[in-house]
A and B are shown apart, each in its own frame.
Chain A
Amino acid sequence: DSGVTQTPKHLITATGQRVTLRCSPRSGDLSVYWYQQSLDQGLQFLIQYYNGEERAKGNILERFSAQQFPDLHSELNLSSLELGDSALYFCASSAHPGQASGANVLTFGAGSRLTVL
């Protein structure tokens, strides 16, 4: 157990629907990252939050949004789902927001597998 908790583990839904993925970071970590893992795209960085504020944005679609709450858990909202959104969605956490030079160790959860039919 990495200490990063993601729910649900599996989710099957239909095109056009909306889903919410939830992540609880490791105790003491202030930063949360969302990654999408698909067979043809590998691990793609979506978005990062640090202590409730958006810190960095990657290849996140406009149909997707995220937030980090005061208790530091985070939710990733996926709307108007398409077949191509089927993937594993990983949440990771770290203690720091990321520094100009230095290690930033990310701890990943087990992922949420989304299947869009």
Chain B
Amino acid sequence: QQQVKQSPQSLIVQKGGISIINCAYENTAFDYFPWYQQFPGKGPALLIAIRPDVSEKKEGRFTISFNKSAKQFSLHIMDSQPGDSATYFCAASRWGKLQFGAGTQVVVTP
């Protein structure tokens, strides 16, 4: 039973475009929502994170939007670059135990 549902499974975006990845969760006890980025042959690395008392957080070209009432959150990658091609995982945490979404493979074409 997956506690965090992530979509789409994959997406292709042109350079300069916007990538949007969506996640939904069930457990309202989750109190920390990070996004991890994983390149082939590497472990996941923290990209950006948000707490449920904040509706939006922006770091450079990456923005998290959080909708507590809908139990949904999303990652927006603005001005996507070929170097952003990777697998992105959303996660939800309680007591430090991360529940990951299934991942989204993003391919940015030149």
Q: Which residues of B contact A4 (CB under 8 A)?
A: 43
Tell me the A83-99 residues at the B interface (CB within 8 Å).
90, 92, 94, 96-99
Contact size class for B? 20 to 34
Q: Which residue of A lies closest to B41 (CB)?
A: A110
Chain B nearest CB from A85 CB (Å) reads: 19
Q: Which residues of B contact A56 (CB under 8 A)?
A: 95-97
Tell me the A23-50 residues at the B interface (CB within 8 Å).
31, 33, 35, 42-45, 48
Q: Does A102 contact B (CB under 8 A)?
A: yes
Chain B nearest CB from A106 CB (Å) reads: 6
Q: Is B97 a contact partner of A58 (Cβ separation < 8 A)? A: yes
Please, how many angstroms separate the alpha-carbon atoms of A33 and B96 in the complex?
10
Q: Name the contact of A110 in the complex, choosing from B42, B49, B103 (C-beta under 8 A).
A: B42
List the 5 closest A-B pairs by CB distance, nearest first.
Answer: A98-B96, A108-B43, A104-B96, A43-B100, A98-B95
Chain A residues engaging chain B, CB cutoff 8 angstroms: 2, 4, 31, 33, 35, 42-45, 48, 55-56, 58, 90, 92, 94, 96-111
- Can you offer 10 A-B residue contacts whose CB atoms are under 8 A? A42-B100, A45-B97, A45-B98, A48-B97, A58-B97, A90-B43, A90-B44, A97-B96, A109-B43, A110-B41
